[in-house]
């Protein structure tokens, strides 16, 4: 009996040579580290060294998050990943009316250079790679990070890490946008230019499918809409006068890893192949690094359950294995209690230990692309690729990623997929252990980590002290220079950096840009 994959594609009970009839391994596979990169972006992959184990963390105050980062580093984390609270993601200070009730809840509150200084206190920024999950205000947080590095005496060319900086997916699936698409894309191009000149080892964008997947996108939709967004960013930079090989090597991507191992492996392999072809054929990229789809993976938070949460340990291990078999460059494994609350230190440590077991106690690092040549996986790779390419063509017909966003295409497609998954779960056709089968009569008690509600008042006190101490005249002059750059064509990051150096707040900087660019209001036409 034929089953369907998460993308609605057929999975046959048995695959044999006929599944790959007419299949040319030279065209489809190549060698690891060579075009079309189906088998991985590096020749040796994990046989040389394992992926970066990058645990995502951030909550409450900068001091509390700093303590968690130090613990993660002590436990063996090789890369930090910062979660910011919603006010910071939306460019609001902690004492803004819109921030009430959200300060420090889903990430760390960062209002100024004072907070960023505390966040990385005692962490040498030339020795860690830091990823920041921040989008609309990505430039602001990157510059704060650079300023703190300068205070540590670290040269910008020694900084490594990533800013997510993918606002297009915010319009599609997540909603933490600030500015309309056109100025948002201009800001992205300014970041590309700034980092090319001053922070050359920094990954200037992490084009994200993860949040689309969390909203319900199928694997084929996830890579199709993510790669379509990537095409839009590349076109923006090229239209701004940049050579594709000057910035494309620093592009990175961010995907989810679900429990469906075979399709996830196929998805990652198909995504690499599509991106390499697009960069070579559409943009004429010459540098092999411009053709490489390098990506970070996070295990699927949406698949974690509050019921029998310890079962999530099994789910996360399976999802992490899918990411590794698919050739990820870095990985975050979710903590088993994340469906209930922020992870405790113990659960975060267990999540990291899961990766360490995969890296050091299994044989998946012994050989490159162990599924290469598998009848099932190669056929599924072709099927996912074909479905994704078809969706990308539909996006192009609507005017590219922005045009399709304005018509609600991606959002509507994802919502249909999410509805299908919900119906299958409710009917029992899709089994979720502990939720619709194998339930307990009574759940065992679990004590989650709780964020102190007094954080909001303490952040407001810090902001009041900052505003009283700083040179207000210098701040006003710097913000005026930022607005002038935004009105014209100058790169806004240079005056923005000076405003932040003068201790302007995240909210003040974003407000200065709001005054010039306005805010995005989604259309209800669809």
The predicted pLDDT at position 314 comes to 98
Q: What are phi and psi of 57, to 5 degrees?
A: -155, 155
- Where residue 77 falls among pLDDT bands split at 50, 70, 90? confident
Is the whole model's pTM more than 0.85, yes or no? yes
Largest CA distance in the chain: 74
Calculated CA dihedral for residues 46, 47, 49, 54, nearest 10 degrees: 20
Strands annotated E in 134-245: 160-163, 202-203, 205-208
- Where residue 65 falls among pLDDT bands split at 50, 70, 90? very high
> Over the stretch 263-278, which tens digit does the pLDDT of each residue have?
999 999 999 999 999 9
The predicted pLDDT at position 326 comes to 98
> Over the stretch 361-400, which tens digit does the pLDDT of each residue have?
999 999 999 999 999 999 999 999 999 999 999 999 999 9
Contact 104/61 with Cβ under 8 angstroms? yes
Q: Which of 518, 444, 470, 450 is nearest to 183 (CA)?
A: 518
> Over the stretch 306-352, which tens digit does the pLDDT of each residue have?
999 999 999 999 999 999 999 999 999 999 999 998 888 899 999 99
Domain covering 31-427, topology:
TIM Barrel (3.20.20)
Q: State what percent of residues in the chain have pLDDT above 70.
A: 99
Q: Does residue 206 surpass a pLDDT of 60?
A: yes
Q: What are phi and psi of 513, to 5 degrees?
A: -75, -35
Distance CA 207, CA 401 (A): 13
Q: Which of 224, 526, 237 is nearest to 401 (CA)?
A: 224
The predicted pLDDT at position 343 comes to 87
Q: What are phi and psi of 264, to 5 degrees?
A: -65, -45
Contact 136/91 with Cβ under 8 angstroms? yes
The predicted pLDDT at position 525 comes to 42
CA-to-CA dists, residue 351 to 132, 315, 346, 432, 456, angstroms: 19, 11, 9, 21, 29
Q: How many CA atoms within 13 Å lie on the side-chain side of 48?
A: 7
> Over the stretch 6-53, which tens digit does the pLDDT of each residue have?
999 999 999 999 999 888 888 899 999 999 999 999 999 999 999 999
């Amino acid at each position: 009996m034929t089953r369907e994959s998460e993308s609605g594609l057929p999975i046959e009970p048995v695959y044999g040579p006929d599944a790959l009839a007419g299949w040319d391994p030279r065209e489809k596979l190549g060698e690891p580290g060579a075009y079309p990169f189906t088998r991985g972006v590096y020749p040796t992959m994990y046989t040389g060294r394992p992926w970066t184990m990058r645990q995502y963390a951030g909550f409450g105050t900068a001091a509390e998050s700093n303590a968690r980062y130090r613990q993660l580093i002590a436990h063996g984390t090789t890369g930090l990943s910062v979660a910011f609270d919603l006010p910071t993601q939306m460019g609001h200070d902690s004492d803004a009316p819109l921030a009430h009730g959200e300060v420090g809840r889903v990430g760390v509150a960062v209002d100024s250079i004072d907070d960023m200084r505390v966040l990385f206190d005692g962490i040498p920024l030339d020795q860690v790679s830091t990823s920041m999950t921040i989008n609309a205000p990505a430039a602001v947080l990157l510059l704060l990070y650079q300023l703190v590095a300068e205070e540590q005496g670290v040269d910008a060319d020694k900084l490594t890490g990533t800013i997510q900086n993918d606002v297009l997916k915010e319009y599609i699936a997540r909603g933490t946008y600030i500015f309309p698409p056109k100025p948002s894309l201009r800001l992205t191009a300014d970041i590309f230019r700034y980092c090319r000149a001053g922070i050359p080892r920094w990954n200037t964008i992490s084009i994200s499918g993860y949040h689309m997947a969390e909203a319900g996108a199928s694997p084929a939709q996830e890579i199709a809409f993510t790669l379509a967004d990537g095409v839009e960013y590349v076109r923006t930079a090229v239209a701004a006068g940049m050579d594709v090989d000057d910035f494309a090597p620093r592009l990175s991507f961010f995907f989810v890893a679900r429990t469906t191992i075979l399709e996830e492996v196929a998805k990652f392999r198909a995504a690499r192949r599509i991106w390499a072809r697009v960069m070579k054929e559409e943009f004429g990229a010459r540098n092999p690094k411009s053709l490489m789809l390098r990506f970070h993976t996070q295990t699927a938070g949406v698949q974690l359950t509050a019921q029998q949460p310890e079962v999530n340990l099994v789910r996360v291990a399976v999802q992490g294995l899918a990411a590794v078999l698919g050739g990820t460059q870095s990985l975050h494994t979710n903590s088993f209690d994340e469906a209930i609350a922020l992870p405790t230190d113990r659960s975060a440590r267990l999540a990291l230990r899961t990766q360490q077991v995969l890296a050091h106690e299994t044989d998946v690092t012994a050989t490159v692309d162990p599924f290469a040549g598998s009848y099932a996986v190669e056929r599924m790779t072709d099927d996912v690729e074909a479905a994704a390419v078809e969706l990308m063509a539909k996006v192009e017909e609507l005017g590219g990623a922005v045009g399709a966003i304005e018509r609600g295409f991606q959002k509507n497609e994802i919502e249909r997929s999410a509805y299908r998954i919900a119906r299958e779960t409710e009917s029992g056709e899709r089994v979720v252990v502990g939720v619709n089968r194998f339930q307990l009569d009574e759940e065992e008690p679990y004590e989650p980590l709780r964020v102190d509600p007094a954080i909001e008042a303490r952040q407001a006190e810090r902001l009041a002290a900052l505003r009283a101490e700083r040179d207000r005249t210098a701040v006003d002059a710097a913000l005026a220079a930022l607005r002038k750059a935004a009105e014209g064509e100058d790169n806004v990051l240079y005056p923005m950096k000076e405003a932040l150096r003068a201790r302007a707040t995240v909210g003040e900087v974003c407000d200065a840009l709001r005054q010039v660019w306005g805010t995005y209001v989604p259309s209800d036409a669809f």
